[in-house]
Structure formats: C-alpha cells, structure tokens
A and B are shown apart, each in its own frame.
Chain A
Amino acid sequence: MIIRRIAPILILFVLASCSSRQSLFVVLPNADGSSGAVTIETDQKSVLLDHPYAAGEVRKGVAAPVQVDQTQVQQIFGNALAAQPVLPSHFVLYFEKDSDVLTPASKRQYESVFDDIKRRPVYEVEVIGHTDTMGTQPHNQQLSMSRAEMIRDRLVHDGINPKSISVAGRGSLDEAVKTADQVTEPRNRRVEITVR
C-alpha cells in the first residue's frame, strides 16, 4: 500500500536524477573568431567539440552533444569569465648587427611593451635574447644575454619591478628564420618578450 503511494514519487525522483546534467562543456571563440577543439571522453562515449559554441554534456555518465547559445553561456559562466586575467602578450624587438642597440622601429615598439606591463595589476615578464648565426657560439651566447639584460635594465630604469623580470640568452639556438652558419639575418637579432 505504502509502496503504491510512494512509487510515483520514487519514479519521478529516479527520472530526475537520470536526466539531470552532471557537467557541461562549451568551446568558446578565440579573439579572432576561430577555435580549436576539445574531446569529452567518458567510459561510454567520446564527443568532439570543434567549433565556437559547440557544446556537450554528461548525463548519467554518458556524453552527448547539446545546443547552447551565447546568452546561456553568459548566465552560467558570467562570473568565471569576468574573473579572467588580462591575457598574456608577446613582443619581439630587433637589434642592430652585432650589438645590443635596438633598431629605430623597435625603439618605438619598446613603449608598447612598457604600456602593456603597466596596465596589469600584477605582472611577470620573460625576456629571452637571440642572435643570428654570424660569429662564434660563445660570442653569440654572450651577445644574446647582453640584449636581454639591456631590455631588463631599461624596464627597471622605467620603474618595472626587477623581481618580476626573468632574463635568458639562447645564442643562435632558436632562430626565427633558419639560416646556414655564419649568416647575418636581421630577423634573428632579437629579444622575445612575454608579459603575463
């Protein structure tokens, strides 16, 4: 008798738990509108999400595609998205031949590096120096380090916290443009700066 009375309630309860969503996954567009892909892997099934706003959910341990629009994303994920840090930036500054003096164009671009750092509440700056393949390896190692240190010193002089800057020199190991040995190449005489 009691069973009869609570059976519908039990069925409702089980139905509700069967059909309730355990997790939701949504691919978002990159700044340029493109997107990469993610795969939801469960014991039962895998679901590939490979375009902006492609979404999948897991119910009862099983993954399946689902329709989600921009408004729903904002409703569910608005707080998480609002907490997103300023995205990391990447800069390349170029140098005169066999020297730690910036080219005129890169001297101007230094200002945008500095501005980018200043707009962040906290920051970490990585400066990595490089050379072309002209000259000996020890010389280029030294030169790549001098280039990185020159940028660091300039940033510190302009008020950036030295503790938040790391420097390294890679000699001619990581060429931006592959060349033979003993070749002068303006695009390889550079520092790569990451600000995050």
Chain B
Amino acid sequence: MLLLSRCKRFFTRPHLRLIRVIGVIVPRRLRADWRQEWEAELRCREMLLAEWNRLDRRHRLDLLRRSAGAFWDALLLQPRRLEDEMFQDLRYGVRMLLKSKGFTLVAVLSLALGIGANTALFSVMDAVLLNTLPVAEPERLVLFEWQAGLPFRTGGMSGTSFVPTPPGTKGLSLFCYEVFEKMRQARAAAPESPLSDFFAFAPIRELTAAAGDQVEVINGQAVSGGYYAGLGVQPVLGRGITDEDDKLGAASVVVLSHQFWQERFGASSAVIGQPLKLNKIPFTIIGVTPPAFTGTLQVDYRPAVTVPIACEPLLRGERSRLGTANQPGAWWLDLMGRLKPGATCEQARDSLNGAFQAAALEVMPPPRKANQPAQLEPKDYPRLLAESGGRGMLDRRRMYSTTIYGLFIVVALVLLIACANVANLLLARAAQRSAEISVRLAVGAGRWRLIRQLLTESVLLAGLGGAAGVLFAFWGRSALLALTDKDTGILPGVVVDLRLDWRVLAFTLAISVLTGVLFGLTPAWRATSLDLATAIKQGRRTTGAVSRLSKGLIVAQVALSLLLLVGAGLFIRTLHNLQRINLGFNQENLLLFRLQPQQGGYKDERLVQFYQQLFARLDNLPGVRAATFGRVALIAQDNFVNGILLPGESAMTAGPHPTNRQMARENYFATMEIPLLRGRGFTAQDDQRAPKVAIVSQTFARQFFPNDDALGKRVTFRGSKREVEIIGVVADTKYMSQREEIKPLLYTPWQQDGAEVGEMHFTLRTAGEPAALTATVRQVVRELDSNLPVTEIGTQAARSQATLGKERLSARLLSFFGGLALLLAAIGLSGVLAYSVAQRTNEIGIRMALGAQRANVLLLVTRQGMKLVLLGLAVGALGGYALKRLLESQYFAGSAWQRQMAEQLYEVKGTDPVIIAIIAALLTLVALLACWLPARKAAQVDPLEALRQE
C-alpha cells in the first residue's frame, strides 16, 4: 500500500522526484542548495507551461529531459566530496596510521602476505577452473563423456580421462573413431538435432618437427574437419582445417598455433603454403590460430600444430589409433558439439545416446578371459554424458581441483591468522584510544559515526594491504612457476598468465574490503561501547586485563600455526625419507638423455646400426667410464608395462600379471651397478638369432615363482606372444619413482626386441661431473645425424630430485606458510602482552615496591602469555585430530581428498608423535621469545617512576 502511494507520488511530478533521486550523489554539504536551485528551475518552467496535470505529453517529456540535465550537474560536483565526511574520515585515518608507523607496517605487511598469497592463487584458480575458452559463445559448447558398467570392454585407451562416476561404473571422456563417425552420421541424419556442430580432437604428443634445418620435438593435436567451424575460431592467417582436409587421400595440411608461429617462423605472413615436416612427413602450412586460442584440450596441454585426424596414421604409422579393417581402433578422441540456440546439454545427450550405445557395443572386443560375459546386461550398457564444454576438456581440471582447493585452505588460513593478528592489534589500540573515543562520545559524536571512522581506518589498512598484496603476488610469480613446472610442480603444465585483469583485481578488492570489515568491526564495536563516566574518569588508567576476545584470537592463531607447521613437518619428513631411499643402483655420476630416432625414419637394421654406432662413439669419449642404453629412464616417471603369462597359463584364464619392463644393452647392469644375484647376465651373443632370453628382478622371482627357482623358467608376453627364458636374477631397483612399491621387473636384451625397439635413454657413467659432458654429447649425436633432437638431457641425480619435485614443493610451501603463520602469531602474542604490560605498569610498580623481584615479574608476564600458547597448542592438536578423523570418515570416502592424502606422505603417519612434539617445542620456543620481550620491559619498570604516575 505504502509502496503504491509512493509510486503514485513519484509519477505525479516525476521531474521533481528525479531531482531528489539525483541529488543523492551530490555531496551532502551542497545538496540542499543544489536541489533548491534545480527545483526552482523546473517549477518555474512548469508554471510557465501551466499546471502539470494539464500538460500534454510533449511538454511533460521536455520537463523530464530538462530534469535529467541535473545529472551532469550533480556529477560535476563530485570532486567537492573531498570535503565530505568520508574524506574527513579517510584523512583522519591516514593521520592515525602515520602516527603509529610500526603498527601500520606490521599490520599492512601481514595483510599483504595473506592477500598476496590469495591473489596469486586466485589467478591459478581462474586459469584452471574458471576461465572460458576464447571462442565464439563458449556457453553453447557441450562436452561428451560416457559411463558404463564395469563389464563393458573397450579396445586400447590412450589419453587423459578423469570422469567421476558412481561406484561400480567406469567413466571416460575418450571415444574411438568408429563411434565418433556413427554419432556424426546420426547427427547429420537428424535435421532437428539440438547440435549445430559436432567435432573431435585428440593430442598427438612428441612430434619431430623440421622446417629448414631446425629440428625440435613439439606437441600437436589431430582434429576432425568441423573443429574450427564448430568452435567459431577464425585463423588470423590463412584458414582452418575443413571437412575436405579431413578425408583419406586429402593433402596433408597443418595449422600452427600463434606461439609456435611466432617462435619458429618469426611471425612471418609468408608461412602459408610453406612446408613443415612432421616425423619426416611433409605437411603444408595452411593457417595460424589467434594468439588467445590455445586449443580445447586439457589445461596442461597446448598443441603447437594441428593436423586433420585423417593424417594421424601418417604420423604414428603402425601405432595409429584409427582402426583397420580387422582391428577396432583405440579410444583416444575427445568429443564436443555446439548447441543450437536454446537447446540444452540434456537434449544433446539424448539425441546422440542411441547412436553412441549401438556403436560402442558394436566395437566392444570379444572377451579375453573366461570369466567375462560375451553379452552385457542392459544395466551395464554404456551411456552418454554431456557436460558444459565452455572451458574445454575437464579431466585435468578435475584432477587439479583438489590440489587448488587444498592450497586455498592453506592461504585462507594464513589470511585468517593475519586478520586475527590485525584485529588483536586494533583491539589493543582501541583500548589505548579509549580516552579519545570517550571524549568524542561525550561531546556528542554518534556511535555509528565513530564506528564508521574506525572502520574507515581498518578498511584503509586492508586496502594498503591489498595493494601491497598485489605487488607481492607479482613478486611471487616464480613461486607460481614452481607450482606449475612441467616436471616438478603440483599443477604440472598449467599455464598461468598472471596479469592484472579485472577479475583478479575485483577478487583482491573484495577480499581486502572483506578482511578490513572482518578484523575492524569487532574492535570498533567494542571501542565505542564504553561506559562514558568511568572511561573519562579513569583516563589512561585501565585495568590492563586482556579481553577474552584477544585471548581467543591468540589461542586460535597458535592452533592454526600448529596445524600448518605439523603439515610442513610431515612433508619435510616425507621428503627426507624419500631422499634417503635405496634406489637399487648407483645414481652418482650418471648423465642421461633421450633419443627418438624412429621418428626420424630409422627402422629395423638401420636403427640397430645407429644405436651401435652412437654407443661406440659415446663409450670412447674421454671422461666416460662406461656408456649404455635402455628403453626406460629410471626414477623419471617413465614406464613400459606388459602383461605376461607364467608357464602353463593361457590368455583366457590367467591373471593380468602386469610387469615393468626394460630393454637394455648387455652392459646395462654393470654400468648402473645393479648386482647380478644368480644366473648369467646378457652378452653380445644374445641377438636376433639366439634363443630369446630375459633377466628378472628379485621381486619378479619371489612374486611369480615363490616356491620354485625362477632360473630356466619360460614366460610369455601377452601381446606379442614372444616366449623368453629366464637366465638371471638381479637385485631390485626402484623404477618410476622413489615412492612406488617395488614391482616385478623384467629385462630383455635390446637386440632381441626387434620391431619393439624405438626410443632409447642413453646413460653415461662419467669419471667427473656428468653435466660437464652435455655439450659434447649433443655434438656427438649431431655428427651422426644433425636432424635428430637430443631431449631430456641431464644427470640422474637431478632427474631423481625432479621426481621428488612435488614433495619438495609441498614441503616448501607448507614450511613457508607455516613459518609465516608462526611469525604472525608471535607478533600478535608479543603485541598483546606489550599492551597488557603497558597498562599494568602501575600494578607492576606496586608489586615491585612491595618486594617482588624482577624474576617474579618476568614470570608473571611470561605465564600470562604461555597459558594462551599452551591452550592454543592443545586446541590445535585436538583440531588436527578431529580434522584427520573427518577426512578419514566416510563423508570423504573415495573422494580425491583421501586418495591424495594417502599419496602425499611416505613412511610417516599424520599423527607422528615425534613431529608433533618437535613442532610444539618449536612453537613454545618462539612463543617464549615473544613473551620475553614484553616481560623484560615489565621487569625494567622502575617502581618509583610507576608509582609517581599514579
């Protein structure tokens, strides 16, 4: 009713109402004057034109137009605001902050560290979890995935996939080409399909690219013809790949990424039509994509070149993932579509589900084991899923999200501690200012007015903290780079462009204001709820009691610091344990590098010859004690796994027996210093013509032949059906990483591996510093073949350290933030005690006058502080325990959190008493120091002086 009458009033003379509304933005001091003048103008006009009710529409509109002119006038008066109350508050706030520089510095610095860490992490989160693709209308893109019952079988799979599905089902974001083709046909056949476009893409890793005489290994991708059209990406140069290019027998064409084009071709517009050799196959460059577009693949993968899917067999040769007439292809493609305007993901899913299911069941391979059913029950049929595709592929983002949220918890904790700290300092200061505040209240200042003043100060502090925080975030760039390092980061391969865009700034501004209000409101509220009479009478003499809130904040800070530091302790311990581990071979003085000559066209006899020639040259290098090579680099997250059949087993009945493999030169064990325990090693005579042999690790022998001697036994590779005889047993070595459990490992002499021989890792045992030979090695390879890139060259020790990169980074991050938290807590404790001591000077003076010794005073103050610290430790320990129980509970069962927790630590428990004790002791020590400074000051109180003040 009220609203209605208001509306009515508004519309009776809208021009006058408008003036009132606009007047709100005029500085208050000038407002009345301003309104009066404008109202006079409009009323006059109204009168001239006759009464409002009799005005015709044209004149009414004219009046409105005139009143709108007031808006510009009001805007012009904005600079006058400087004299407004808000600016008075601000100016006063700045003066107060400048008055106590030490306080301001500590507060701003601690806030800056907290806000900076949050800002930096936000930019990571923005890049990984929030950013949408720079394509036309990304919200209309839909991404396809599927889920099926566990009995559903697929052919080989290749690619990154992480699709969370209910237990008892499996989810995948990969498709095989036959299935894609059937789905594409189904879409094309249905004119009412909710999709306007439908396309596929997949990574092709490690292509050897040669243009002119420059050779390098790059990452690429294969896309279906509709990719660029479907995404709405317009190449900046040339054209994209079309359906015509994606046909068997079409010319081989390639589209370059903007970055590759700039780095490799100097951004020359003459590249269109130029040749680019990929794995020795000539391609014609037809286009360059825009700079912002880095593809739709996983967040850590940016292809430099894009080719049509039809060209994939040219690049991968026999290992092509496209099916052949008698063999279905691998599941390797990512699928996306573009919704027609108004269509939904669900409609798109339902429109293609039928075609997907039929095609997927059609390509399902026959059972390989006796216990697998030939026909599936309908409940296990694969079902299509559809997700919003605006951010590109989601799998890697899903994997990284737990890490990011975990980090966010840590930095949010640090910010919280910083807030608690500043709140505490403000509380203490508010107590000091109680005289000032009570006088202001007494002479008539409103409470809200004072709270506003105090809040302005705290928001000002937070604003300064935020500004410095953005600076810190930029300085801390290298930390972000470490976070996203390809080999050692915890978010490997993510490209984070740390720049001041509006999202980051908006985030920083929001958390600055929020923290300012958060830590400022309570102190402001308390400071202004004074009992005036007492406060003024007491003047500077207050009781000196530290408020319960202050104590609570200290306890909370100590507890949070304990949690962070115990986390750091656990990671340091883990790192220490992993570094000490026995790898099973001597990793000192080893230089490693990788060669992929098969991509340069080497095959069969030529390849074998090449390796032999290169070996001979390297082995004779001065400074090289021995050279050897093997397929897999150790402790480098590299692997090569085969299923094997034990004697008497058949493929239909046997268990999987996954076995790590290494194909190696005969001197491999001697060079790596892996002891031969039984039987014989390989010799140069174990070649193509000799009987097929193998050497196994101790774990292999123990696991597969527990009651028997492994020597002389024959095992068969599942895939190639090759049968080998075990001729020796060597000691165990770690294989992929220091952390993994030792698994069975089987060595074969490389000359007997025939067509399986491809890339190799060369290993040189050097006499001196291995890294010094790097240039020589490159030179030797170049002399043999100048078109062959040497990759991943480095020492084994560095490689092993890099494999521990995640652990090291976690330990460093947590130590840094834990240390920061501890420092902040110590400052807070010290500050609160110092305040308390200052307030209690009288009391201390009296005590000393009555015979208290300095030691008593020291103890008095220290006890006051340490009580809080011990309480904080207890709360922290209990909180940590509760947190651990919570994470272990079924709320988090099967979640990525539990998996990651289990993966993080090594040979140390979350409740390791030694670590907790050490950290608690460290905390106590720092706290004692923090107490000692104000306590010493208290002990130096001169009783005469203190009493004279009375």
A complexed with B: no
Residues of B within 8 A of A (CB): none
